Amino acid sequence: MERVHFQNEQVFRTQVERLFDDQSRRIRAVLPEADIQHVGSTAIPDSLTKGDLDIQVRVPADVFSRAVERLGTLYRVNAGSQRTETFAAFQDDTTNPPLGVQLSVIGASEDFFWKVRDVLRANPSLQRAYDALKQQYEGQPMAVYRAAKQRFIEALMASEAFQRLD
C-alpha cells in the first residue's frame, strides 16, 4: 500500500525548475501553440509537496486530439486518471522528480489547475489550510489522502477567490 509523505517544496525546487524547463522545451517542440504552466504544490512557494512536478498543458479545442497524440509520444497515459473529450493525463515516473502532465482544453471544466495554483499563491490562509490537511495525512494511505485532497480542492473551487479568476 502506497503511503503519502510531504516535504517543503524548497527541498525539490532546483530539480523541479530544471525538469520543468526541460519538459517545457520537449512539449513546445511538439505543441508550439500550447500554454504550458507549472502547477501543483511545487509551484507554490513554501508549500508542502510530495515532491513531484505537475505541468498543465492548455490548448484550444481544435488542437486537443492532436495534442493527445503528440503528448502520447513523449509520455505514458496516466491510467489512474479519467480521460474526457477535453482532458487527458500523462505521467513519467522515470524522471527525477516524477512528472505528471495534465492536458486540458482552454476554458473547459478541467482547465482549473492554474487557477488552484493562483488562488493558493494569493491566499496564504488557504495555502496554510492545504498544508495542514497534508500534515494531517502524513504517512497515511495515498488513496485516503487523495480523497481528502479532492474535497479540499472542490471547496476551494467553490470559493469566491477561485470564482473571480473566471
C-beta of residue 57 within 8 angstroms of C-beta of residue 63: no
Q: What is the pTM of this model?
A: 0.96
* Residues 84-119 pLDDT 10s: 999 999 999 999 999 999 999 999 999 999 999 999
166 vs 160: CA distance, rounded Å: 10
Residue 1 within a domain: no
Residue 2 within a domain: no
Q: Which of 78, 53, 57 is nearest to 66 (CA)?
A: 57
Residue 64 within a domain: yes
Residue 43 within a domain: yes
CATH of residue 86: 3.30.460.10
**pLDDT surpassing 80 at residue 166:** no
Cα 153 to the center of its chain, rounded Å: 12
Number of domains in the chain: 1
pLDDT confidence of residue 56: 98
Residue 23 within a domain: yes
Residue 120 within a domain: yes
Domain with 134, as residue range(s), is 7-163
- End-to-end CA, the chain: 38
C-beta of residue 156 within 8 angstroms of C-beta of residue 112: no
Residue 76 within a domain: yes
* Residues 28-87 pLDDT 10s: 999 999 999 999 999 999 999 999 999 999 999 999 999 999 999 999 999 989 999 999
Residue 13 within a domain: yes
